[in-house]
Structure 1
Amino acid sequence: MIDRRRVVGAAGLAALGTTLGAATGGRAWAAEGPARWPRMRQAMAVDAMTGVDLFYVPEDDPAAPKLLQHLRECGLTGAVMTAAPQGRFWLNDKAYEDTRARIDEWKGRIDKHPDVLLLVRERADLERANREGKVGVIFTFQGTEPLGEDLDRITSFREQGVRMIQLTHNRRNLVGDGALEAGDAGLSNYGRQVVERLNAERIVVDLSHGSPRTIREGILASKAPVLVGHSGCRALADASRLTSDESLKLLADRGGVVGIIFWPYLRVQGQQTSADVIRHLEHAVKVCGEDHVGIGTDLGISPIELTPEFAKDSLDTVKDMISQGIFAKDRSPEMTLFPPDLNVPNRFETLAAKLSARGWPDARIEKILGANFARVMGEVWG
């Protein structure tokens, strides 16, 4: 939800009291904070849906230094980032042209900050980001609208640096049905051709936001493991954006990985917290096994300053989402899209410390933080 996230992800740009310690490589670590996890510096941490907030402000914006600081603090190795607008019917060349222009712009921003950022094109780039303490940016789309009806655009986008493509957003498109489509028509014939071409071009297929049938058919259509990069367990909260145990098991059986989202979908009512994230992680591990679960926050990297202005914007945003059917009609709008107790730049480390306190072994935590995603990416990219 990149456009929505700008309301809650860039409305407040100040950190909530995290103090920078000494830098390790290009990455600075919080000297004090909600929690510490000793293995964070070695972990391959990949957020399968996030936003580099720096890309949404001008280079000379007064907030830019703070946003760079958050990148150094976050501890991420890989940040999967949407380079194409979603949630719209883009059935002309504008989607293609605008997406290519945005990718070029963002690649320019990456080049301006080589001490903090790098573009990920292959598994070796993730390893380099981890080794050098940088955030590796992985370009994706949330919806195949920029492709139009031209499969050759997949090749064009790959040459430009795109390494993951999500088939649908909430609506129906030419490829298949999104999560909010009641018809649940699954993949179209064209959608199957898209999956086949994505496999051929070694681009990761993401089935997030798919309808149940789209997710199931997408898993079966792909010759390579796929991701449901930001979702959750529908067995715990019956929301259309979450994934059934049946599909989770099928995903795992074919080598894929599901990422647990941080959004309010994690519970039926009330404010989600880290406890809900952990509840979904533990259920997913029970269904899929620890080799097939990760994290896709669907949040910007920078934390939110909880100002009165933010509170008003957040309330209006959530009310609008409820009216669209994104959240249930009876859902209270009195909530934030992020778990308040994970509203820190180093939220992966904070979560890891909580998992460790629950008795999770370090090896399992490292898999969930990103090693599982890195495995699939490396297998697909070659």
Structure 2
Amino acid sequence: MASLVESGNLPLILEMMLNTAAQESPALSATELHAASTVVDGSTVIELSEAHLDRIRRGGVTAVNHTVTTPYADTATALRQVNQCRRWIDAHADRALLALTVADIERAKAEGKEAVILGPQDTEMIGVDLDLLGTFYDLGVRILQLTYQRQNLLGAGCGENVDPGLTHKGRIFVEAMNDLGVLVDVSHCGERTGLDAMEVSATPVVVTHSFCDAMSPHIRAKSDAFLRRLGEQGGVIGITTLSGFLYYPEEPTRRPDLARFVEHVSHVVEVVGVDHVAVATDYDETLTEAMRAEQLKEKEFRNLLGDWKWEERRAIGMDDAAHFPNFTEALLAGGFSPADVTKVLGGNWLRVLGEAWKPASR
């Protein structure tokens, strides 16, 4: 398996630093490695605020996949939410930019800005209207999750008892996403629906935020068989750091830490290889303790999130985006090489984005 250095997927400065570190002693420190890497959060809901930008800067994060619309939003609501985010980015052009291409992410890294990728976690605001799909693409959407928990016109969510797979309309929709250059996300899809999407898609499919069912069984987790198919298709899975997802089956009330995150990453590597795993916090910066309490009154959210205390809902060592350097330290401590750490931090996301964002029709 070629390294990132060999494949040319690392920024030039990082390639030079890693080559130098291989020849000289001491090796590149965790702080230097993190600073040189293009760090990507595969899934988050950002707070449109100065506080968010400050956290991102302290965490050394270059790009985020932002859940720009709320799940199950209707068309008008989703359009307003996209517009609100676009206007916020415009108002903070000195610190943020809209990511439409991998070159935009590279520019954000060079300029010390945050690249915001618009990635709704649902398609219900579009239905099967391919003109609307094109409209959301024109507005900047570059990642799109097919279903969120429940059945829709495209396929089944992982919260359904039965998953008949991708519908006929769903197959046409995935092909249209390929033609436009929108990355197909199946994080909340049922397993059959996700596998069908991989069968249909001409470009890699991703699981922007999930974890390993073999380690932490859950309706949102992905099986080893699913991971193997994902790897064959060239996709990537982002491992989340929510306590309810990284839980220990033998100690369900024990709060996980970043060593547990590394265990999930390592499991993916064992099953399918290091080129197919990445970071995705799955944090919602807009969520308050009161809002979470309301959510947990609904069975769907209890099944998703578990009954964790507010202050324990995230893995130890990753309370917010400012703590992203802890990922680098944890991965190095877990035995990952510097080159492989850069893949997990963002290199794998850059590869798959580059493949999916090349429209087949252009």
TM-score relative to the length of structure 1: 0.79
Size of the aligned set, in residue pairs, is: 324
CA distance in 2, matches of 1:238, 1:212: 14
1:81 aligns with 2:66: yes
**1:283 alignment counterpart:** 267
Q: Is the 8 A contact 2:143 2:185 kept in 1?
A: yes
The answer (yes or no) to whether the contact 2:241–2:318 under 8 Å persists in 1 is: no
Counterpart in 2 of 1:265?
A: 245
For 2:245, the aligned partner's letter is Y
Runs of 4+ in 1 over 6 A off after TM superposition: none
Instruction: Report the alpha carbon displacement of residue 77 of structure 1 after superposing the two structures with TM.
Output: 1.4
SS in 2 for 1:191: helix
Contact 1:110 1:117 in 2 (8 A): yes
- Correspondence for 1:355 among 323, 326, 331: 331
**Aligned residue in 1 for 2:146:** 167
Q: 2:17 maps to which residue?
A: none
What is the rounded CA distance, in whole Å, between the counterparts of 1:290 and 1:301 in structure 2? 29
Three-state SS of the structure 1 residue aligned to 2:321 is coil
| Pairwise CA distance, 1:106 | 1.0
Matched, 1:376 2:352: yes
Alignment map for 1:179-190 (pairs within 5 Å):
179-190=158-169
Kept after mapping to 2: 8 A contact 1:168/1:175:
yes
**Is the Cα–Cα contact under 8 Å of residues 108 and 115 in structure 2 kept in the other structure?**
yes
Matched, 1:365 2:341: yes
Counterpart contact for 2:57–2:322, Cα < 8 Å: no
What residue number does 1:320 align with? Answer: 297
- The unaligned stretches of length 5 or more in structure 2 are 1-28
Query: 1:50 aligns to what SS in structure 2?
Result: strand
Partners of 1:231 and 1:243 within 8 A in 2? yes
1:143-168 deviations in whole A, cap 9, x for unaligned? 11111231111111111111110001
- In structure 1, the partner of 2:224 is 245
Please, which of 109, 117, 130 is the counterpart of residue 130 of structure 1?
A: 109
Does residue 202 of structure 1 match 2:167?
A: no
Task: Identify the residue that residue 42 of structure 1 maps to in structure 2.
Answer: 36
Structure 2 letter corresponding to 1:51: V
Choose the corresponding residue for 2:278, options 288, 291, 294: 294
What is the RMSD computed on CA atoms of the aligned residues?
2.2
**3-state SS, counterpart of residue 103 of structure 1:** helix
Structure 1 residue 328: deviation in Å?
7.6
* Alpha carbons 2:45, 2:68 under 8 Å: kept: no
- Go from structure 1 to structure 2 and tell me whether the alpha carbon gap of 1:286 and 1:345 turns closer, same or farther (over 3 Å shift): same
Q: 1:337 to 1:97 in 2, by over 3 A?
A: same
* Distance change (3 Å), C-alpha of 1:325 and 1:162: closer
Structure-2 separation of matches of 1:283 and 1:207: 20
Deviation, 1:318, is 7.0
Q: Check the 8 A contact 2:56/2:322 in 1, yes or no.
A: no
Indicate which of 145, 164, 178 corresponds to 2:124: 145
Q: Deviations over 1:217-259 (max 9, x none)?
A: 1111111001111011111111010001111011111111011
Partners in 2 of 1:142 and 1:261 — Cα distance? 15
Matched position secondary structure for 1:41: helix
C-alpha displacement at 1:190, in angstroms? 0.8
Superposition pairs of residues 203-218 of structure 1, within 5 angstroms: 203-218=182-197
Q: Is the contact made by 1:74 and 1:301 (CA closer than 8 Å) also made in structure 2? A: no
1:102 partnered with 2:86: no
Give the structure-2-normalised TM-score. 0.84
Deviation at 1:332, TM superposition (A): 4.7
Alignment gaps of 5+ in structure 1: 1-34, 56-63
SS of the residue corresponding to residue 136 of structure 1 reads strand
| 1: CA distance, partners of 2:51 / 2:84 | 21
Return the alpha-carbon distance in structure 2 between the equivalents of residues 190 and 261 of structure 1.
30
CA contact (8 A) 1:290 1:368 kept: yes
- The sequence identity of aligned pairs, in percent, is 31
- Alpha-carbon distance in 1 for matches of 2:166, 2:241: 27
Query: Structure 2: how far apart are the matches of 1:168 and 1:348?
Result: 28
Q: Tell me the amino acid that sits aligned with residue 187 of structure 1.
A: L
Query: Following the alignment from structure 1 to structure 2, what is the Cα–Cα distance between the partners of residues 313 and 212?
Result: 29
1:111/1:118 contact within 8 Å kept: yes
Check 1:287–1:317 CA distance in 2 against 1; reply closer, same or farther (3 A cut): farther
